[in-house]
Structures are given as structure tokens and as C-alpha cells.
Structure 1
């Protein structure tokens, strides 16, 4: 039997997964973040979009609602949370291709997508896996394709720095607090990496980044 890949569940513990959506609304105002992420770009009807680490499918469904004629794909390594996403997609009758898989080894051909969205995923990954996931995003994007990221970032004021002293040791957030996520993104081949905006949350500073594949 093939050994199950190791990963950090969406809320760190499997038993918390059932409360993922309400917890994300409480901790991050999740839909506000995702709407801001979508507002970075114009998705055209004939384009293909990947929600990498799609969780319960909230972002994929929002993108589909915004542009019904785009081809939307969602990928997540966690079968429990992917099952929740499938149920939400079925309830809405949306056509979204959901698949189980790892961000570090995307099951898609080179230059498959016009847009890749990565929402609050990278802080679950080790440094090596963050770098590999960004390289994979670069690989599957078409030339000129866009990468849209929201995740923990470098604090911008004293209060957020204080919070970061607590959260930086949780999961794999430390590199984010040091402002290294844009560095890793550029190392993967993207340029330029722009910080679009940032938000304060009870767990620290959350930053939106935008970049493209030259």
C-alpha cells in the first residue's frame, strides 16, 4: 500500500477540519481576502484557472461565479477537506474540476493555466516545499500567466510585530514574517513580485501578492 503523503491539515488538526469555513471567517474574514485576491486581475471567459490548495472550494466557486465561462480547477492534498469542496460544488451545480494532489508536484502539464491562485496555503509548507510549490506554479502557468497569492507576510506596525512573536513558531510561518515569500517567488522565476495590499488579522499580517511569468 502506498504511504499517505504527510501534510499539515487546514486548521492544523484533522478534527478541526469540519469547522474550517466558520473559523476562516472569524480568523481572517476569508471571503473579503478572497474577493481582494480576485480583484487583482481580469479573468477572461476562455481562460483556465487553478486554485492551488483549494480547501473547501470557496475561492474556486467565487471565481466561477465571477466568470462562469472560465475553466476552473481546484487541487488539495487533504481528502477530508476536498470532500467538503465537492459537496459545495455539487450543491451549486457548478462545473469545477476538483482533484486530490500535492502543490509540490502538480498533476498538470507545463503551461496549462492563465492564472494560479494560492490562498493561505504556503504557510502550511516547509521552506523547501514552499520553494517547490512556487516552482510548480511557474511551470504550469502559460507565458504571461499570473500568480495571485495571499498569505502571512512581514508585519507593518508594532502591534503586528508583537503578534508575530507568537505566531511565527506556529506551522511554517517564520519565513513569511521575515518577508521571504517574495524572495522565494522571484527565485522560482516570477517577476516582478508586487505587494498589492495587506490586512491585519488576530494571527498577524496577511499580505496579497501579484506577479507573472515572463
Structure 2
């Protein structure tokens, strides 16, 4: 099959979600053309390689990359395990079209879906792995909790979730509030070295342990053995790698 026919973008949004706002991966829509350059300069590829290595996807397994953006983690998973069946999910249609073009250039099969992390458009128990990199902090409190429940739902018993993200994830922005736009400013600054400001780049998004941390979210959703399996002191903040398993049926 030609590579050009292997890449599909399926719009899985409901009518109510068509005008739903979301935070772009680069923080601003106009920065999308430069996003891959920024992340490459920021050393994000190493984070993707670490996450893919920790996920340890086996031949033929099904993987959901939630918040896939332009597809970089998906491509890293496929490089490590070419026979994996990878689906990337993101609300940003422009980012998905970039991911599709990259997949065609690479000649890899990649399924792409436009949708949201708090309503993963897939049947129950349809994936062996859920992976996500630098996306969960884009979500508000309710969105993070819903994502954790959805990840549990779409995983098969014994399936694993692997998340790489900044720190323990407070819902506070750099001004001490609860604004989604605050997440955007911190996220964008961490990816854009020459726009970095010391006060914002080290704000509460990556500070300390919080009740709404990823480990607690996964445990509350029903995952077993939710734990931090690794971390790295990235130039723009501490990045934690968290894993958990959907319990097997009795």
C-alpha cells in the first residue's frame, strides 16, 4: 500500500466540540510553522525517546498518542517499534495535517484523529498503550481527571499509560490563578528559549507535589501502581515520566 494512502485524519469531534477552544502546542496558532524547530532546539526529542523506551511497545500493539500535535512522539514510537499500530489524537487540525505530511514523507502508517483528551474517540479496551508527552498540563482540572478516566477506559486490561510532562502539575498559573492562558504562557516559554523569562518559566506549573498531580489522577481513575518511573531536569523545568497499568480482570 502506498504511504500516501496509509495516513488518514478522522474528524471525531461532536457538533458541540466544533467551536471548543483549545491551547495550541506552541501556545499560539501563528507559532505552529516553527513548532518542530523550537522543540528540536529545546531538546524535546530526547524526552520522546525516553517516553517511548519506557512504554516498551511490542510488535503489533495498538498505541494512542494523546495530544500528539505534529506527531513527534508517534514517530518516535514507530521508529522504536515499526509494526506498532499508532493513533495520534489532537484537537488542532493544522497540527494534524503537519503530522500527516511528515508521516507520508517518512513512509510510515499513522492514523490521526481530531478530538479531545477528555473524550477519546475509541471503543473500550481498544489500545495496549496510551502515551502522552507535554500535553496533560494543557488541560484544566476537569480535563485532566476526564483524560485519566478515558485512558483507563480505552486500555485493555494489563495495558499501560506512559506520560511525560512538567513536574507534578499544579492548576495554578504564574500569577497564582487558575487560567488556561497561564498554562499557555508557561508552556510556550519552555519551548521558546529566546522568549524565556525567568519568573514565568519557573512558575508553579512545575513546582513540587500537588493534589492534582498525574500520579494521583491516575490512581483516582482506577489505575494500578501509578508511579513516577523516571525524571529529567530539562532546561525548561523538571519533566517527570509517570506510568500506570489498567488492572487485569479477575
1:156-189 per-residue CA deviation (whole Å, 9 max, x = no partner) reads xxxxxxxx99597631785663432211111111
Which consecutive unaligned segments of at least 5 residues does structure 1 have? 156-163
Q: In 1, Cα distance between the equivalents of 2:129 and 2:20?
A: 26
Please say if 1:49 is aligned against 2:63: yes
Larger deviation: 168-177 or 61-70?
Answer: 168-177
Structure 2: stretches of 5+ with no match in the other structure: 1-14, 187-203
Trace 1:21-40 onto structure 2 (pairs within 5 A): 21-27=36-42, 29-40=43-54
* Aligned pairs (5 A) from 1:34-113: 34-113=48-127
Residue 154 (structure 1) shift: 4.1
Note if contact 2:161-2:244 (Cα within 8 Å) is conserved in structure 1.
Answer: yes
TM-score by length of 1: 0.87
Tell whether the 8 Å contact from 1:53 to 1:103 is kept in structure 2 after alignment: yes
Q: Residues of 2 paired with 1:14 and 1:146: CA distance? A: 32
Which shows bigger deviation, 65-74 or 177-186?
177-186
Who is 1:203 aligned against? 236
Instruction: Give CA-to-partner distance per residue, 1:33-67, whole Å, 9 cap, x none.
Output: 01111111332212111111111111111211221
1:17 aligns with 2:32: yes
Work out whether residues 167 and 204 of structure 1, in 8 Å CA contact, stay in contact via their aligned partners in 2: no
Q: Secondary structure at the match of 2:31?
A: helix
Aligned in 2, Cα 1:127/1:175: closer, same or farther, shift over 3 Å? Answer: farther
Looking at CA atoms only, which structure, 1 or 2, has the larger radius of gyration?
2
Superposed CA RMSD = 2.3
Aligned equivalents of 1:168 and 1:177: distance in 2? 12
Q: Distance in 2 between matches of 1:92 and 1:211?
A: 31
Who is 1:177 aligned against?
207
- Residues 1:130 and 2:160 are matched in the alignment: no
Tell me, in whole angstroms, the C-alpha distance in 1 between the residues paired with 2:94 and 2:125.
29
Partner of 1:159: none
Number of residue pairs matched? 205
SS of aligned partner of 1:5: coil
Counterpart-to-counterpart distance in 2, 1:201 and 1:42:
22
- 1:89 deviation in Å? 0.5
- Say which SS state the counterpart of residue 94 (structure 1) adopts: coil
CA contact (8 A) 1:168 1:177 kept: no
